[in-house]
Structure 1
Amino acid sequence: MNSSRQLQLTVYASLFAALIAAGSYLAIPIGPVPIVLQNLFILLAGLLLGSRWGLASVGIYLLAGAMGLPVFAGGTGGIGRLFGPTGGYLLSYLPAVFIVGWISERAGTAARRILFDIGAMILGSFIVYAIGVPWLSAMTGMAWKKAVMVGMVPFLPGDALKIAAAVPIARTLRPVISGKFTPVCADEYSRS
Protein backbone atom coordinates (compact mmCIF):
# COMPACT_ATOMS: atom_id res chain seq x y z
CA MET A 1 0.00 0.00 0.00
CA ASN A 2 1.45 3.35 -0.99
CA SER A 3 1.80 6.17 1.51
CA SER A 4 -0.91 8.28 -0.17
CA ARG A 5 -3.47 5.47 0.18
CA GLN A 6 -2.39 4.83 3.76
CA LEU A 7 -2.88 8.52 4.57
CA GLN A 8 -6.31 8.41 2.94
CA LEU A 9 -7.36 5.41 5.03
CA THR A 10 -5.99 7.03 8.19
CA VAL A 11 -8.17 10.07 7.50
CA TYR A 12 -11.21 7.85 6.84
CA ALA A 13 -10.60 5.88 10.05
CA SER A 14 -10.39 9.13 11.99
CA LEU A 15 -13.53 10.40 10.29
CA PHE A 16 -15.40 7.25 11.24
CA ALA A 17 -14.20 7.56 14.84
CA ALA A 18 -15.70 11.07 14.84
CA LEU A 19 -18.93 9.81 13.26
CA ILE A 20 -19.22 7.07 15.88
CA ALA A 21 -18.75 9.72 18.58
CA ALA A 22 -21.36 11.96 16.93
CA GLY A 23 -23.73 8.99 16.77
CA SER A 24 -23.47 8.64 20.53
CA TYR A 25 -24.86 12.15 21.03
CA LEU A 26 -28.07 11.15 19.30
CA ALA A 27 -29.13 9.05 22.28
CA ILE A 28 -32.63 8.22 23.43
CA PRO A 29 -32.47 7.01 27.04
CA ILE A 30 -34.87 4.09 27.54
CA GLY A 31 -33.17 2.39 30.47
CA PRO A 32 -29.63 1.34 31.23
CA VAL A 33 -28.88 0.99 27.50
CA PRO A 34 -29.82 4.01 25.33
CA ILE A 35 -30.81 3.93 21.67
CA VAL A 36 -27.89 5.43 19.72
CA LEU A 37 -26.65 5.75 16.14
CA GLN A 38 -23.19 4.48 17.06
CA ASN A 39 -24.05 1.03 15.75
CA LEU A 40 -24.82 2.39 12.28
CA PHE A 41 -21.38 3.97 12.03
CA ILE A 42 -19.71 0.85 13.46
CA LEU A 43 -21.34 -1.23 10.74
CA LEU A 44 -20.45 1.29 8.03
CA ALA A 45 -16.84 1.43 9.23
CA GLY A 46 -16.57 -2.32 8.75
CA LEU A 47 -18.26 -2.26 5.34
CA LEU A 48 -16.35 0.70 3.96
CA LEU A 49 -12.94 0.49 5.63
CA GLY A 50 -12.58 -3.27 5.98
CA SER A 51 -11.46 -5.28 8.97
CA ARG A 52 -8.16 -3.57 9.82
CA TRP A 53 -9.06 0.07 9.20
CA GLY A 54 -12.54 -0.38 10.65
CA LEU A 55 -10.91 -1.83 13.76
CA ALA A 56 -8.58 1.17 13.85
CA SER A 57 -11.51 3.60 13.73
CA VAL A 58 -13.31 1.87 16.60
CA GLY A 59 -10.05 1.64 18.53
CA ILE A 60 -9.54 5.40 18.16
CA TYR A 61 -13.11 6.01 19.34
CA LEU A 62 -12.78 3.73 22.40
CA LEU A 63 -9.37 5.16 23.28
CA ALA A 64 -10.74 8.71 23.12
CA GLY A 65 -13.62 7.70 25.39
CA ALA A 66 -11.39 5.83 27.83
CA MET A 67 -9.18 8.92 28.09
CA GLY A 68 -12.21 10.90 29.26
CA LEU A 69 -13.37 12.64 26.11
CA PRO A 70 -17.19 12.86 26.09
CA VAL A 71 -17.72 10.50 23.14
CA PHE A 72 -19.85 7.79 24.73
CA ALA A 73 -23.67 7.81 24.83
CA GLY A 74 -25.10 10.93 26.37
CA GLY A 75 -21.81 12.84 26.10
CA THR A 76 -20.00 10.81 28.76
CA GLY A 77 -16.47 9.48 28.83
CA GLY A 78 -13.91 7.87 31.07
CA ILE A 79 -12.53 4.41 31.59
CA GLY A 80 -15.27 3.70 34.12
CA ARG A 81 -17.82 3.62 31.28
CA LEU A 82 -15.95 0.67 29.77
CA PHE A 83 -16.43 -1.24 33.02
CA GLY A 84 -20.00 -0.09 33.67
CA PRO A 85 -23.29 -1.71 32.61
CA THR A 86 -22.89 -0.68 28.95
CA GLY A 87 -19.18 -1.46 28.74
CA GLY A 88 -19.82 -4.81 27.10
CA TYR A 89 -21.61 -3.10 24.23
CA LEU A 90 -18.75 -0.63 23.80
CA LEU A 91 -16.06 -3.32 23.87
CA SER A 92 -18.09 -5.55 21.54
CA TYR A 93 -17.69 -2.94 18.82
CA LEU A 94 -14.11 -4.14 18.26
CA PRO A 95 -14.90 -7.75 17.26
CA ALA A 96 -18.13 -6.63 15.54
CA VAL A 97 -16.42 -4.14 13.20
CA PHE A 98 -13.61 -6.60 12.49
CA ILE A 99 -16.03 -9.39 11.50
CA VAL A 100 -18.21 -7.05 9.42
CA GLY A 101 -15.11 -5.83 7.59
CA TRP A 102 -13.67 -9.31 7.15
CA ILE A 103 -16.88 -10.65 5.60
CA SER A 104 -17.34 -7.58 3.43
CA GLU A 105 -13.80 -7.91 2.08
CA ARG A 106 -14.69 -11.36 0.76
CA ALA A 107 -17.92 -10.39 -1.02
CA GLY A 108 -16.66 -10.50 -4.60
CA THR A 109 -19.26 -9.60 -7.22
CA ALA A 110 -21.74 -6.74 -6.83
CA ALA A 111 -24.67 -9.18 -6.71
CA ARG A 112 -23.08 -11.07 -3.83
CA ARG A 113 -21.91 -7.89 -2.09
CA ILE A 114 -25.38 -6.84 -0.87
CA LEU A 115 -26.04 -10.29 0.58
CA PHE A 116 -22.60 -10.40 2.19
CA ASP A 117 -23.07 -6.88 3.59
CA ILE A 118 -26.47 -7.70 5.10
CA GLY A 119 -25.20 -10.98 6.54
CA ALA A 120 -22.10 -9.27 7.92
CA MET A 121 -24.15 -6.56 9.62
CA ILE A 122 -26.58 -9.08 11.11
CA LEU A 123 -23.63 -11.06 12.48
CA GLY A 124 -21.97 -7.86 13.73
CA SER A 125 -25.17 -6.88 15.54
CA PHE A 126 -25.39 -10.38 17.03
CA ILE A 127 -21.82 -10.02 18.34
CA VAL A 128 -22.74 -6.73 20.01
CA TYR A 129 -25.64 -8.41 21.82
CA ALA A 130 -23.72 -11.62 22.55
CA ILE A 131 -21.17 -9.59 24.51
CA GLY A 132 -23.30 -6.66 25.69
CA VAL A 133 -26.28 -8.50 27.18
CA PRO A 134 -24.31 -10.91 29.42
CA TRP A 135 -22.11 -7.98 30.51
CA LEU A 136 -25.23 -5.94 31.36
CA SER A 137 -26.61 -8.87 33.35
CA ALA A 138 -23.35 -9.38 35.23
CA MET A 139 -22.80 -5.69 36.02
CA THR A 140 -26.35 -4.95 37.16
CA GLY A 141 -27.28 -8.28 38.71
CA MET A 142 -30.25 -8.51 36.35
CA ALA A 143 -31.67 -11.91 35.59
CA TRP A 144 -30.71 -13.15 32.13
CA LYS A 145 -34.27 -12.85 30.77
CA LYS A 146 -34.64 -9.30 32.03
CA ALA A 147 -31.25 -8.32 30.57
CA VAL A 148 -32.38 -9.62 27.17
CA MET A 149 -35.67 -7.73 27.46
CA VAL A 150 -33.91 -4.49 28.50
CA GLY A 151 -30.65 -4.73 26.57
CA MET A 152 -31.64 -6.35 23.27
CA VAL A 153 -35.33 -6.68 22.39
CA PRO A 154 -36.17 -2.94 22.24
CA PHE A 155 -33.25 -2.34 19.88
CA LEU A 156 -33.96 -5.01 17.25
CA PRO A 157 -36.37 -2.91 15.11
CA GLY A 158 -33.92 0.01 15.15
CA ASP A 159 -31.05 -2.28 14.21
CA ALA A 160 -33.07 -3.58 11.26
CA LEU A 161 -33.59 0.03 10.12
CA LYS A 162 -29.89 0.81 10.58
CA ILE A 163 -28.94 -2.22 8.48
CA ALA A 164 -31.47 -1.21 5.81
CA ALA A 165 -30.00 2.32 5.77
CA ALA A 166 -26.39 1.11 5.75
CA VAL A 167 -26.78 -0.91 2.54
CA PRO A 168 -27.46 2.06 0.20
CA ILE A 169 -25.05 4.29 2.12
CA ALA A 170 -22.27 1.74 1.69
CA ARG A 171 -23.14 1.22 -1.95
CA THR A 172 -22.91 4.97 -2.57
CA LEU A 173 -19.73 5.63 -0.58
CA ARG A 174 -17.74 2.50 -1.47
CA PRO A 175 -16.45 3.89 -4.81
CA VAL A 176 -15.39 7.13 -3.12
CA ILE A 177 -13.50 5.42 -0.31
CA SER A 178 -11.95 2.78 -2.56
CA GLY A 179 -10.59 5.53 -4.80
CA LYS A 180 -12.55 4.35 -7.86
CA PHE A 181 -14.88 7.34 -7.95
CA THR A 182 -14.64 9.47 -11.07
CA PRO A 183 -16.24 12.88 -10.60
CA VAL A 184 -18.23 14.18 -13.53
CA CYS A 185 -17.10 17.62 -14.69
CA ALA A 186 -19.75 20.29 -14.99
CA ASP A 187 -18.75 21.05 -18.58
CA GLU A 188 -19.59 17.48 -19.59
CA TYR A 189 -23.22 18.31 -18.85
CA SER A 190 -23.03 21.50 -20.90
CA ARG A 191 -21.88 19.51 -23.96
CA SER A 192 -25.07 17.43 -23.94
Structure 2
Amino acid sequence: MEQTSSKHSLITTKQLTLIGVMTAVICLLAPFAIPIPFSPIPITLATLVLYITAFVLGPKLGTISCLIYLLLGAVGLPVFSGFSGGFAKIAGPTGGYMLGYLFLTLTVGFFVEHFSGRPLFYALGLILGTALCYLFGTIWLGVQMNLSLMQALAAGVIPYLPGDIIKIIIACLFGPKLRTAIQRLGN
Protein backbone atom coordinates (compact mmCIF):
# COMPACT_ATOMS: atom_id res chain seq x y z
CA MET A 1 0.00 0.00 0.00
CA GLU A 2 2.80 2.42 0.87
CA GLN A 3 4.45 1.93 -2.53
CA THR A 4 1.24 2.79 -4.33
CA SER A 5 0.67 5.97 -2.36
CA SER A 6 4.29 7.11 -2.78
CA LYS A 7 4.05 6.68 -6.56
CA HIS A 8 1.07 9.03 -6.65
CA SER A 9 2.59 11.75 -4.49
CA LEU A 10 4.33 14.66 -6.12
CA ILE A 11 7.58 14.13 -4.25
CA THR A 12 8.47 10.95 -2.37
CA THR A 13 9.98 10.92 1.10
CA LYS A 14 13.31 9.82 -0.37
CA GLN A 15 13.25 12.69 -2.87
CA LEU A 16 12.29 15.20 -0.18
CA THR A 17 15.14 13.95 1.98
CA LEU A 18 17.62 14.23 -0.90
CA ILE A 19 16.42 17.77 -1.65
CA GLY A 20 17.00 18.66 2.01
CA VAL A 21 20.43 17.07 2.12
CA MET A 22 21.60 18.69 -1.12
CA THR A 23 20.19 22.07 -0.05
CA ALA A 24 22.16 21.74 3.19
CA VAL A 25 25.32 20.89 1.23
CA ILE A 26 24.81 23.97 -0.96
CA CYS A 27 24.24 26.14 2.11
CA LEU A 28 27.39 24.78 3.78
CA LEU A 29 29.78 25.04 0.81
CA ALA A 30 28.54 27.96 -1.31
CA PRO A 31 29.46 30.67 1.24
CA PHE A 32 33.18 29.92 1.04
CA ALA A 33 34.59 32.66 -1.15
CA ILE A 34 37.85 34.21 -2.24
CA PRO A 35 37.39 37.92 -3.00
CA ILE A 36 38.96 39.28 -6.18
CA PRO A 37 40.22 42.88 -5.95
CA PHE A 38 39.09 43.89 -9.45
CA SER A 39 35.61 42.36 -9.34
CA PRO A 40 32.57 42.30 -7.05
CA ILE A 41 32.22 38.61 -7.96
CA PRO A 42 34.25 36.33 -5.65
CA ILE A 43 35.49 32.85 -6.48
CA THR A 44 33.13 30.41 -4.75
CA LEU A 45 32.25 26.74 -4.56
CA ALA A 46 28.64 27.52 -5.49
CA THR A 47 28.77 26.38 -9.11
CA LEU A 48 30.61 23.16 -8.25
CA VAL A 49 28.11 22.21 -5.57
CA LEU A 50 25.23 23.10 -7.91
CA TYR A 51 26.74 20.90 -10.62
CA ILE A 52 26.85 18.01 -8.15
CA THR A 53 23.31 18.79 -6.99
CA ALA A 54 22.09 18.54 -10.58
CA PHE A 55 23.84 15.19 -11.00
CA VAL A 56 22.36 13.79 -7.80
CA LEU A 57 18.83 15.18 -8.11
CA GLY A 58 18.24 15.78 -11.82
CA PRO A 59 16.57 18.84 -13.33
CA LYS A 60 13.33 19.16 -11.33
CA LEU A 61 14.54 18.29 -7.84
CA GLY A 62 17.93 19.97 -8.38
CA THR A 63 16.21 23.21 -9.35
CA ILE A 64 13.92 22.96 -6.32
CA SER A 65 16.98 22.51 -4.10
CA CYS A 66 18.65 25.54 -5.70
CA LEU A 67 15.48 27.61 -5.27
CA ILE A 68 15.27 26.69 -1.58
CA TYR A 69 18.91 27.72 -1.17
CA LEU A 70 18.19 31.10 -2.80
CA LEU A 71 15.08 31.63 -0.65
CA LEU A 72 17.00 30.79 2.53
CA GLY A 73 19.63 33.35 1.58
CA ALA A 74 17.02 35.92 0.57
CA VAL A 75 15.42 35.80 4.03
CA GLY A 76 18.79 36.50 5.60
CA LEU A 77 20.51 33.22 6.36
CA PRO A 78 24.27 33.61 5.71
CA VAL A 79 24.44 31.09 2.85
CA PHE A 80 25.63 33.36 0.05
CA SER A 81 29.26 34.14 -0.78
CA GLY A 82 31.29 35.36 2.14
CA PHE A 83 28.62 34.05 4.55
CA SER A 84 26.23 36.83 3.60
CA GLY A 85 22.50 36.77 3.13
CA GLY A 86 19.49 38.96 2.55
CA PHE A 87 17.51 40.17 -0.42
CA ALA A 88 19.96 43.04 -0.96
CA LYS A 89 22.58 40.48 -1.98
CA ILE A 90 20.26 39.14 -4.69
CA ALA A 91 19.41 42.67 -5.80
CA GLY A 92 23.12 43.61 -5.94
CA PRO A 93 25.78 43.05 -8.63
CA THR A 94 25.95 39.28 -8.07
CA GLY A 95 22.17 38.76 -8.26
CA GLY A 96 22.15 37.83 -11.92
CA TYR A 97 24.54 34.97 -11.29
CA MET A 98 22.29 33.76 -8.47
CA LEU A 99 19.29 33.85 -10.79
CA GLY A 100 21.44 32.04 -13.33
CA TYR A 101 22.01 29.24 -10.79
CA LEU A 102 18.43 28.09 -11.41
CA PHE A 103 19.03 27.78 -15.15
CA LEU A 104 22.42 26.17 -14.56
CA THR A 105 20.90 23.49 -12.34
CA LEU A 106 17.97 22.91 -14.69
CA THR A 107 20.23 22.60 -17.75
CA VAL A 108 22.83 20.34 -16.14
CA GLY A 109 20.10 18.16 -14.64
CA PHE A 110 18.38 17.86 -18.03
CA PHE A 111 21.58 16.64 -19.70
CA VAL A 112 22.36 14.24 -16.86
CA GLU A 113 18.87 12.76 -16.94
CA HIS A 114 18.47 12.54 -20.71
CA PHE A 115 21.99 11.47 -21.66
CA SER A 116 22.77 8.95 -18.93
CA GLY A 117 26.16 7.33 -19.27
CA ARG A 118 27.37 9.79 -21.93
CA PRO A 119 30.19 11.90 -20.45
CA LEU A 120 30.51 14.19 -23.48
CA PHE A 121 26.88 15.20 -23.07
CA TYR A 122 27.45 15.74 -19.34
CA ALA A 123 30.28 18.12 -20.22
CA LEU A 124 28.10 19.84 -22.82
CA GLY A 125 25.31 20.29 -20.25
CA LEU A 126 27.76 21.67 -17.69
CA ILE A 127 29.17 24.12 -20.24
CA LEU A 128 25.72 25.25 -21.43
CA GLY A 129 24.45 25.59 -17.86
CA THR A 130 27.48 27.66 -16.93
CA ALA A 131 27.04 29.80 -20.04
CA LEU A 132 23.41 30.50 -19.08
CA CYS A 133 24.51 31.45 -15.58
CA TYR A 134 27.12 33.77 -17.07
CA LEU A 135 24.58 35.26 -19.46
CA PHE A 136 22.24 36.32 -16.66
CA GLY A 137 25.10 37.34 -14.40
CA THR A 138 26.94 39.40 -17.00
CA ILE A 139 23.85 41.30 -18.10
CA TRP A 140 22.86 41.96 -14.48
CA LEU A 141 26.40 43.01 -13.50
CA GLY A 142 26.67 45.35 -16.48
CA VAL A 143 23.37 47.04 -15.69
CA GLN A 144 24.06 47.27 -11.94
CA MET A 145 27.53 48.73 -12.35
CA ASN A 146 26.98 50.63 -15.63
CA LEU A 147 29.59 48.52 -17.47
CA SER A 148 29.95 47.84 -21.16
CA LEU A 149 29.61 44.23 -22.28
CA MET A 150 33.39 43.85 -22.49
CA GLN A 151 33.88 45.39 -19.05
CA ALA A 152 31.24 43.09 -17.56
CA LEU A 153 32.85 40.05 -19.22
CA ALA A 154 36.27 41.13 -17.91
CA ALA A 155 34.92 41.56 -14.39
CA GLY A 156 32.48 38.65 -14.19
CA VAL A 157 33.42 35.90 -16.64
CA ILE A 158 36.93 35.80 -18.09
CA PRO A 159 38.87 35.51 -14.79
CA TYR A 160 36.66 32.63 -13.68
CA LEU A 161 36.89 30.41 -16.77
CA PRO A 162 39.98 28.40 -15.67
CA GLY A 163 38.36 27.60 -12.33
CA ASP A 164 35.10 26.68 -14.01
CA ILE A 165 36.92 24.28 -16.32
CA ILE A 166 38.38 22.57 -13.25
CA LYS A 167 34.93 22.46 -11.58
CA ILE A 168 33.39 20.97 -14.73
CA ILE A 169 36.07 18.27 -14.84
CA ILE A 170 35.50 17.47 -11.15
CA ALA A 171 31.73 17.30 -11.72
CA CYS A 172 32.16 15.02 -14.75
CA LEU A 173 34.39 12.69 -12.72
CA PHE A 174 32.43 12.52 -9.49
CA GLY A 175 28.86 13.50 -10.41
CA PRO A 176 27.96 10.26 -12.21
CA LYS A 177 29.43 8.17 -9.37
CA LEU A 178 27.43 10.07 -6.77
CA ARG A 179 24.28 9.80 -8.87
CA THR A 180 24.70 6.02 -9.16
CA ALA A 181 25.40 5.66 -5.43
CA ILE A 182 22.36 7.76 -4.48
CA GLN A 183 20.09 5.87 -6.89
CA ARG A 184 21.13 2.60 -5.24
CA LEU A 185 20.07 3.88 -1.81
CA GLY A 186 16.75 2.49 -0.76
CA ASN A 187 16.54 0.01 -3.64
**Residues in 1 aligned to 2:157 and 2:25: alpha-carbon distance in whole angstroms:** 23
Aligned to 2:177: 172
**Change in 2 beyond 3 A, CA 1:139/1:37:** same
Partners of 1:20 and 1:42 within 8 A in 2: yes
RMSD: 1.7
1:1-192 matched pairs, under 5 angstroms: 2=7, 6-30=12-36, 31-108=39-116, 110=117, 112=118, 114-179=119-184
How far apart, CA to CA, are the structure 1 residues paired with 2:17 and 2:161?
Answer: 31
Give the TM-score normalised by the residue count of structure 1: 0.87
Pick the structure with more strand per residue.
2
For 1:179 and 1:63, locate their aligned partners in 2 and report how far apart those are by CA, in whole Å: 30
For residues 18 and 150 of structure 1, the distance between their equivalents in structure 2, rounded to whole angstroms, comes to: 29
State the alpha-carbon separation in 1 of the partners of residues 46 and 14 from structure 2.
22
Corresponding residue SS for 2:34? coil
Q: Tell me which structure has the larger Cα radius of gyration.
A: 1
Which is further off, 171-180 or 99-108?
171-180
TM-score if structure 2 supplies the norm length?
0.89
**Identity across aligned pairs (percent)?**
37
Aligned AA (1:170):
G
Aligned to 2:3: none
Amino acid at match of 2:62: G
> Does the CA-based 8 Å contact 2:31-2:84 persist in structure 1?
no
Give how far 1:10 is off.
Answer: 1.4
Report the Cα offset of residue 179 of structure 1. Answer: 2.3
